[in-house]
Amino acid sequence: MPLLEIKDLHATVGEREILKGIDFTVNAGEVHAIMGPNGSGKSTLAQVLAGRELYTVTRGQVTYDGKDLLELSPEDRARAGIFLAFQYPVEIPGVSNMYFLKAALNTIRKSQGLEELDAFDFLTMVRDKMTLMNMDQTLLNRPVNSGFSGGEKKRNEIFQMAVLEPKLAVLDETDSGLDIDALKLVAHGVNTLRSPERSMIVVTHYQRLLDYIVPDFVHVLSGGRIVKSGGKELALQLEREGYAALGIAEDEEVACVQ
Amino acid sequence: MRAVALETGQWLEDFTRQAAVAPWMQQLREYAFQRFAETGFPTTHDEEWRFTNVAPIARARFVHATAVPLVTDAPAGPEPDVAETYLGKLASFRENPFVALNTAFLEEVVLIQVPRGAMVEKPIRIDYSSADGAHTAPRALIVLGADAHCTIVENYSGTGRYFTNAVTEIVAGDRAVVNHYKVQREDTAAFHVATLAVQLGRSANFSTNSISLGGALVRNDVNVVLSEGTDATVNGLYIVNGTQHVDNHTSIDHAKPHGTSHELYKGILDDKSSAVFNGRIIVRKDAQKTDSKQTNKNLVLSDDAVIDTKPELQILADDVRCTHGATIGQLDAESLFYMQSRGIGKQQARSLLTYAFAQDIIDRIQVADLREQLEKFLFEKFHEHAH
């Protein structure tokens, strides 16, 4: 049984249809890259999978781990093992990173019938994972993402993923805004978390990230549909020839306006 | 005669029945009552009371009772004439009918004097507790000599439908340091009106933090007069739900040059509650180099809550820096989704974000046990409310 099966997925924001029939299947342990120009619907797909209410699913099915994913609230999806690494991680002044992550971990553990961790056990558990992401421990006492640099925010996302240990991680443009050192660090964190039980969907505009996180499958999204699927070589072809070689404009938002 | 003035007649009986006090105090009482009888309770036609209708107080009948404050850790032996020297000099019964009413019922005055150069390290606590049906007129006078330091915590609570009409005056000498806290946790059926009037010396350092949680109808006036080089922080937090109404009127008067004032009021409103923030900043003609900042932020959790916020700047000097800003917002949808996407339930996420909104005011409370007590109270309040 596949871990995730998306069939004919349509989604709108307001009056506007953004996803116009997406189909693909992710099996346990696979890494799928979703590529596409700006405005093609990549981030929408990521947010729909995480349950963002801003988008309305108008048609299609998404089956996750044998369940109807679209029936679940965002928190229940997270408890069932879905994790979204945000393109723009949200700053939450007044809530410490430690409090936030401990609350998240404990609700997820509770839903899995595991015991909640106290502050001491939590710290013991996260220490190695902070080292993995080269994060300073003082970051735990700072408010969530508040005053973090762009790189720190992205590292924090992967750190959270390492702590929450999802079954399906969706990385939404985790590479955007990162310099090469930060990118390598983030990719190293992600690669460490690759396992036969964990699947990933890596959404990216550029092939660059895929040099470090090598996907099993690549899908090219355009106009709210997957227009081409292939192996990792498809990403390299896009890198060489550009989206234009597939007859796709580099920036679809602009194309729409024109 | 106005209708409201007729209602003041009801107070005459209680006024005349009072036990005798020192002649100077008796005279002050009489002037004040005369003034109250002239003006009556304010109406919404008075600019200062535009958004706060005190008719429920004017119409109700309370039985006057002497406020019985519990004062702990106050320094011993105030000088005998200190009350006569300062009482009623800062909180003007001419300008505010409720101050007049309080002054008319002067009796037990909490008198705290910190002599020149003295440092009182332990916070001085003044606790008031009211009973159903009572009218009380708590009155405190705090006098600090030059270079004196102290921390004051006023706490108001009670049970039932009653009316607390409080006045606190603080006089601080040059370079004195005063940290003042007021925690209003009245019964949600109670009426609470209070004035804090503060006169600060040169280079004095003052902070007040007004936490307003209870009461059906609450009005807080904070009036601070600065001198040369004075630093004043005026903070407040109000949290209301149901049909609670809270009105915070502040006035920060930069009377002399080089003064600094920081003001931050935050409010959380739910259900059909309402709140008023009116922040007056006065910069007198010779108060050059004044630096003043005012912020009012409101978190509105329901569609039916109402907030009226208004800055009122009267700037007569030309070389000053004054900034002000007000915001009214709801819980951030992005933040909620972010928390949910990590497995945190929607209700828990809402309560965490609500709590976080109040956090920076709570964090500024220097009295550790008060801060912890409020943290716990708020955490439980929002948590409970969310379920």
**Token pair for B324:** 């002000």
pLDDT of residue A255: 42
Of A78, A93, A143, the CB nearest to B343: A78
Pairing mode, if any, of strands B177-185 and B205-212? parallel
Pairing mode, if any, of strands B149-158 and B191-200? unpaired
Any A CB within 8 A of B70 CB: no
Once rounded to an integer, what is the mean pLDDT over residues A210-237?
94
Quick one: which H or E segment has residue B9?
helix B3-16
With cut-offs at 50, 70 and 90, classify the pLDDT of residue A257.
Answer: very low
pLDDT at B26 over 70: yes
Distance CA B366, CA A160 (A): 33
Answer whether A75 sits within 8 Å of B355, measured CB to CB: no
- Mind listing the pLDDT tens digit for each residue in B356-384? 999 889 999 999 999 999 999 988 888 75
Any A CB within 8 A of B327 CB: no
Query: CA of B79: how far to CAs of A243, A244, B85, B86, B249, in Å?
Result: 87, 89, 10, 12, 32
Answer whether A94 sits within 8 Å of B338, measured CB to CB: no
Nearest-Cα residue of chain B relative to residue A73: B340
With cut-offs at 50, 70 and 90, classify the pLDDT of residue A253.
Answer: low
Q: Which of B121, B110, B113, B118 is nearest to B71 (CA)?
A: B110
Model confidence pTM above 0.95: no
- d(CA A143, nearest CA chain B) in Å: 10
- Mind listing the pLDDT tens digit for each residue in B37-68? 999 999 999 999 999 999 999 999 999 999 99
Nearest-Cα residue of chain B relative to residue A165: B342
- d(CA B24, nearest CA chain A) in Å: 51
Any A CB within 8 A of B359 CB: yes
Q: Which of B208, B280, B209, B211 is nearest to B240 (CA)?
A: B211
Once rounded to an integer, what is the mean pLDDT over residues A85-114?
94
Quick one: which H or E segment has residue B73?
none
Phi, psi of B40 (to 5 degrees): 70, -175
Q: Which residues of B touch A116 (CB under 8 A)?
A: none
- Mind listing the pLDDT tens digit for each residue in B293-303? 999 999 999 99
Chain A residues with CB-CB distance to B under 8 A? 50-54, 73-75, 77-79, 83-84, 86, 89-90, 92-95, 100-101, 103-105, 107-108, 111, 143, 160, 164
pLDDT at B7 over 80: no
Count of CB atoms within 10 A of residue B312's CB?
Answer: 15
Complex ipTM more than 0.90, yes or no: yes
Distance CA B337, CA B332 (A): 9
Count Cβ–Cβ pairs < 8 Å, chain A vs chain B: 75
- d(CA A215, nearest CA chain B) in Å: 24
Q: Which residues of A touch B348 (CB under 8 A)?
A: 103, 107
- d(CA B106, nearest CA chain A) in Å: 43
pLDDT at A153 over 70: yes
Residue predicted with more confidence, B336 or B385: B336
Once rounded to an integer, what is the mean pLDDT over residues B224-244?
98
Contacts of B370 (CB under 8 A, 6+ apart): B123, B153, B181, B183
**Does residue A68 sit in helix, strand or coil?**
strand
pLDDT at A79 over 60: yes
Report chain A's mean pLDDT, rounded to a whole number: 92
